[in-house]
Structures are given as structure tokens and as C-alpha cells.
Amino acid sequence: MTDLPIRPGFWNVPLWGEIGVYIFGIAAVAALIYGVILNRRLWLGGRKPEPADQQQARLTEVLRAVFCQKKIRETGAGRRHAFLAWGFFLLFCGTALATLDWDIGHYAFGTQFLTGATYLVYKFVLDIAGLAVLITLALGALRRWSAGSTLPGGARFACAYASLAFIVLTGFLTEGIRLAATVPAWSHWSPVGHLIARLLSGLSEESLRSIHTWIWTIHGLASLSFIAAIPLTYYAHLYRTPANLYIRDRKPAGEIRKIENIEEQETFGISSFEQFGVQERTAFDACTECGRCNDVCPAVRAGTPLKPRELILRLRDRLHAEKKAADPSALPALETLAPREELWSCTTCGACARACPAGISLPDMIVGMRRHLALEQGEFPEGVASALENTASVGNPWGLDPYERMDWAKDLDVPVAEAGTHYDVLYWVGCAASYDRRARKIARAMVRILRAAGVNFAVMAEERCHGEFARRMGEEYLYQTAAQENIENFAQYEFDRILTACPHCFNTLKNEYPDFEGFGYEVVNHTVFIDELIKAGRLPALKRADITAVYHDPCYLARINGIAGEPRSVLAAVCTGTAEAAECGEKTFCCGAGGGQMWTDRRGDAGAVNVIRLKDLRATGAKTVAAACPHCLTMLESARALDREADSVRIADIAELVAAALPDSAAGASE
């Protein structure tokens, strides 16, 4: 019996075992490094590596993601994964400390630091970490292989779970046998080992030593094989996911990269797998197959052919097939891997990109592939082609007379911007609020609010569609033409800020127009602006309506631009009660209009996205649905028209609710 708490180096391990650890250890690490190098070559695909910008910020982001597991912890399964990852990390650190303690401390300096209380805490922490790994592996396996699970199973995952569990179990067994043979007074500091030791207490020391040698050898070989095989197994995500988080495009979520010098280009978008760059190739490989993208995707919920995880995995498999293919041209073509029906089903809502713990941005890739279809093949989903033609010819997707653009403001005497006059705010009305009969009420409500607050504003007579939906449908040429025309028109006037009441206008003007020369204006969304007016006391006292309203967060406002607090603050000022949908804020669920879908009649086997969303909003029990986007308004109104049970629900833009709450005496309070 020994009472000295000290880490015994290579207890009961024969000399061949001690030497073997070093030889196999070096070989395992070499195999791991070689595997990672080969994998990196695959990501590069023959291209030269380019140094990333903002290296420190990228590294910080990766370290945060890996150690805090913030994104991963968003779901129950993710929280279990976090415990698994932390447990695994602690076990890794424990092994590293043991190496330092023995190989450096003992051999180089003749002393050890894993002694006394330090050693006891070390033992306790590692036992708890090992236990956490085993429990989370068991829970993860139960979830993966339970009936109705949508997670992939199969031998790859079975091996991943079993190998890690085997290593931890043999580690515990090795420890328990040693404790049973040495019976230290402090063995309860290793709770699991202590328990195993008690179970083995009937065996003789000789038997224990003999079994220990075997189990220790098996544990060592399993651990080192695990390390060597990482690049070939599911555990490759240990380096692939951080690699993608490091390399990924750090642009704002709402921005799509511009095609520079579009007039000089001969090809557009992505038409073959070979055209994907290092960022995309790394992203395909980073997928952990968690399925969170599928869980939040409106196209999946509506039953369209698009399933983001499956799409990414087909592209990943194509990437790896390059390693074995004698003739790369015999590999599946991109149009097979990413069929157009899938590409056209995306609403570019960004839910998959937000949810993805590996930092994969599928909407950017989808727009890249749509660009080829749009600009080289001239292909669009039904309904979109005419909306594009209309936008090109008369500046609005409906094809209505440009001279009717200001009809919404008839009888309101709205100031129209004049050169040489300064305005605090240029109110960008947008096509929907200019032409759509229902959405026009938003523009009229905005004018009442601006007047009641005494804002010095004007609208721009030359306004035309900014081309956002065209860009997301892949028609970059039309988008750039529209952007240039609008920017030239802005330049004629003097104003401090552009105000928009449409999140698509807001995102495009704020995040995408600055890519063009001559655009450097501050852009503000109407919910933020109204909130400012209320907080600054610029609006007369608002009458609170005795209603409960549920706010539908538009994807392009809440998720893509992080604006979720201000609309709620405004709503609280005009309604007595508010409710929250299950999917709200940045985790909102799409209305089905984004990415050009406003102009298609797309519905999947499970229905239309707008109908699904209205149902979710109605499930809150609120009788008023507040929107902050003319497209959401239109989609939700048309969903209501299809659903008799939704008859009693009122759908209104926040601006309309605020205008209705203005006292009758307020300037412009009545039309």
C-alpha cells in the first residue's frame, strides 16, 4: 500500500511497452500530420495558398468557437456535444501533462509536478472528464439511432462512437486495475477507477499486474491508432471545421460578392465543380453532418427538393472522389450534384448559414451556381423571367408604368427631392410600397409618422428597383445596371440618411451598394428610425391599442442585419400585449419571399413556406401579426387568404400600427 499521491510513470509497464509508446507515438503523430497535409492539398485543388487577411481576428474567432462552443450549444444535442468536446479536451490535456511530468520532469529534471494535491485534483478532473465523454457518447448514440432520427447512422458513425468509448473505457480499466493492485489511501480521488478497483479487489496482485499489462497495451494501441486515423474518420472535423472557420469569407452576412468588371467577363458563376475555390472546397469538407441546416430550412420544411445538408455532402463526396479518380472528367457533373430544382428552391433566408456550427454559407454558393444558370443559360424559375424583364424595361418587377410610381402618395403632398435642397432623410419607398395596393399603406403610414415627428424628408422621383431579387436569382448584370442608375440619381441630392421600410432595400443599400463607387450613405431601417423618434420624444404620445401582437422578424432584418430589439420596442409602445413565435429574432422562419421567390409560385410537397409561417405565428394565439417588410406582409396576407381559420387575424406593418397610434391632432395623422 502506498500513501504518497504521485503520478506513477509507466507503472507495471515492461521496457518494451515504454519504448513502444515513444516509437508508435511518433509514428501516430507523423501519420496525423501527413493526413492533414494531404487533406489541405485536396482543399487547395492545385491552387496556390493565399494568406488570409485579418489573421488575428480569424484566429480569435476559431479559438472562441472551439473552446466556448457557443454556436454548438444552441441546441440540446449541441450542449451534449460541448460536454463531449470539453471532456475530450481535458483528457487530451491530461495526457499532455502526464508526458511533461514524466518525460521532461522525471527524465530531464529528476522530479515530478503531478504530486500531492495537484495530482489528486488532476486525477479527479480526468475521471470526471472521461465520465462526461462516455455519458455524452451514449446519449448521442441513443439520439442518432433512435426511431425517427434524421441523423446519418452507418458504420462510419458506429466506429466513431465505439472507438472513443473503447479508449475511455480501457483507460478507466487500466487505472482501476492499478488502484486495485496498489490500494492507495487516496484512490477515491479517481471515483471511476476506485469503483473498478473495488470490483476487482478479489483478484491477486499477480493477476492484476498481468491483466494490467494487456489492457494497458490495448489502450495504448487504440489511442495511438485513433490519433493516426483522425484524417480518415469522422473525427477529421476536429481540424476541418476550425480550418473552415478560419478561412471563410468574413464579409457581412447580407452581402453577396460583386462580379467585378462584369462587362469584361466571358463566363459567369459556377458551372462546374472545378470552379469552386479553396474557400468552398474547405467548406464542403468542414460539414459535420449535424443537420441543423435542414432543421431550419424553409425549403426543407415546405418539402421542396432542396436539403442543404445533402447538397453539401454530395459536394464533399465529389471533392474526395478526386483523390481516387483516374479521370476527373468521369466524376459526376455539377448539375447532377446540385440540380437546378434544388438551387431554385432556396429563399436565401440565411437560416442554414446562421445555424451551421462549421461556418458554411450555402446561400452564397447557391447564388454562385444560379449566376451561371441566369447569365449563361438564361434560365429562371417560372414567373421570375417576366419580373426581370419588367425590372429591366420599366424599373419595377410588376411592369407597371414608371409614371405611376408616385401614385401611392396622391393627395399626401409628399415632398419630392430637389437638387440644391438639404434633407435630413431621403425616404426610399421601394417598389412594393410604391405599386402594391396593400403595401402602399406602409408608405402612407411612414409619411404620417415622418410628418408627426417633424422630420425634414423627401422621396426621390427617379427611384427604381434596386435589383436585389435579380441579384439573388443570379441576374447580376441587371442588378449592377440598376445599382449604378440609382447611385447616379442619389448623387443629385443632398441628404444625411436613407430611410427604408423594406429589409431587402435596407440590406442592399446598406451592405451591397457600398461596393459601387459613389455610394457612401448611412442607411436606416424604419423600425430603427421609428424607435429613435419615440425614444427622442419626437412623436406625440402614442395611444396603445388593446391588442396582443406577434412580431414576425423578417430574415433580412433580424437574422442578416441583427435588428430585432428595435421593432419589439416600437411594438411595445403601441400594443398592450406582445407574443413571441417559437422561431423569432435571428432564428426567425422565412415568409417565403426572399431570394426572388416572391415572383415564383413555388411550393413543396408539404405546402408553401408562407402558409407554414402564418400557422406558426397564429399558434401564439395573437390576433395581430406585425410585420416589418412589405414582402412579408404580402406573403402572410396571401397565406391568410388561403386559410379560413386565419380570417380573424390582422396582419399589419409596424409603421401602420404606429401611424394608427398617433393622436388625431398629430400633424399628418389623418389622411
Residues that bind ligand SF4 (CB under 6 A): 287-293, 296-299, 306, 308-309, 312, 346-352, 355-358, 360, 362-363
Count helices and strands in the chain by DSSP H and E runs? 29, 8
CB of 300 to ligand SF4, least distance (A): 7
- Cell numbers that stand for 337 in this block: 450534384
Buried b (16+ CB within 10 A) or exposed e, 296-329: bbbbbbbebbbbbbbbbbbbbebbeeeeeeeeee
Q: How far is the CB of 308 from ligand SF4 (least distance, A)?
A: 4
Closer to ligand SF4 at the Cβ: 362 or 446? 362
Per DSSP, the residues of 609-624 read HHHHHHHHHHTT--SE
Nearer to ligand SF4, 237 or 510 (CB): 237
Cell digits of residue 30: 507523423
Question: How many other β-carbons are positioned within 10 Å of the β-carbon of residue 157?
Answer: 18
Extract the C-alpha cell encoding 48.
496556390
Report d(CA 524, CA 528) in Å as an integer: 7
Nearer to ligand SF4, 34 or 145 (CB): 145
Grid cell for residue 553: 422578424
Binning the chain into helix, strand and coil, the percentages to the nearest 5 are: 60, 5, 35
Distance (Å, whole) CA 136 – CA 84: 6
CB of 610 to ligand SF4, least distance (A): 13
Cβ pair 429, 509 in contact under 8 A? no
Residue that is written with C-alpha cell 406577434 in the block: 550
Q: Any bridge partners for residue 497, and if so which?
A: 425, 522
Least distance CB 475 / ligand SF4 (angstroms): 18
**Comparison of 17 and 152: residue with beta carbon closer to ligand SF4:** 152
Given a contact cutoff of 8 angstroms between Cβ atoms, the answer to whether 594 and 348 are in contact is yes
Among left, alpha and beta (phi > 0; psi -120 to 50; other), residue 555 is alpha
Angle (CA) 514-519-522 rounded to 5° is 80
CA 310, chain centre distance (Å): 16
Quick one: 298 or 630, whose CB is closer to ligand SF4?
Answer: 298
Least Å distance, CB 510 to ligand SF4, is 19
**CB of residue 307 to ligand SF4, shortest distance in Å:** 9
Residue closer to ligand SF4 by CB (options 308, 503) is: 308
Outline where 253-333 has alpha helix (H): 278-286, 292-296, 298-301, 308-324
Kindly tell me which of 82 and 306 has the beta carbon lying closer to ligand SF4.
Answer: 306
Amino acid identity for residue 387 in this structure: A
For ligand SF4, which is the closer residue by CB, 64 or 543?
A: 64
Q: Which is nearer to ligand SF4, 354 or 526 (CB)?
A: 354
CB 133 within 8 A of CB 87: yes
Cα separation, 465 vs 521, whole angstroms: 18
Three-state secondary structure call for residue 199: helix
The distance of closest approach from Cβ of residue 595 to ligand SF4 in the complex, given in angstroms and rounded to an integer, is 7
* Closest separation in Å from C-beta 335 to ligand SF4: 18
Rounded alpha-carbon distances, angstroms, from residue 84 to 67, 98, 136, 138, 367 = 12, 21, 6, 11, 36
Question: 627 - beta bridge partners?
Answer: 653
Spatial distance between the Cα atoms of 323 and 17, rounded to a whole number of angstroms: 36
Q: Do residues 236 and 36 make contact, with C-beta atoms less than 8 angstroms apart?
A: no
Rounded distance between C-alpha atoms, residue 469 and residue 437, angstroms: 20
HEC readout, 98-132? HHHHHHHHHHHHCCCCCEHHHHHHHHHHHHHHHHH
| Shortest Cβ 663–ligand SF4 spacing (Å) | 42
Q: How far is the CB of 354 from ligand SF4 (least distance, A)?
A: 8
Query: By C-beta, is 184 or 363 nearer to ligand SF4?
Result: 363
Nearer of residues 72 and 499 to ligand SF4, judged by Cβ: 72
Tell me the angle at which helices 76-99 and 116-144 cross, rounded to the nearest 10 degrees. 140
Q: Which is nearer to ligand SF4, 152 or 540 (CB)?
A: 152
Of the candidates 301, 295, 314, 302, the residue with the CA atom closest to the CA atom of residue 352: 295
CB of 361 to ligand SF4, least distance (A): 9
Smallest separation (angstroms) from ligand SF4 to the CB of 563:
18
Nearest distance from C-beta of residue 179 to ligand SF4, angstroms: 41
- Which of 291, 281, 203 has its CA nearest to residue 248? 281
Q: How far is the CB of 349 from ligand SF4 (least distance, A)?
A: 4
Whose Cβ is closer to ligand SF4: residue 31's or residue 283's? Answer: 283
* 292 vs 318, beta carbon nearer ligand SF4: 292
Complex with ligand SF4: residue 178 or 292, whichever CB lies closer: 292
350 vs 397 by CB, closer to ligand SF4: 350
Rama region for 547: left / alpha / beta (φ>0; ψ in -120 to 50; rest): beta
Residue 359: CB minimum distance to ligand SF4, A: 8
Question: Residue 164 CB, nearest distance to ligand SF4 (Å)?
Answer: 19
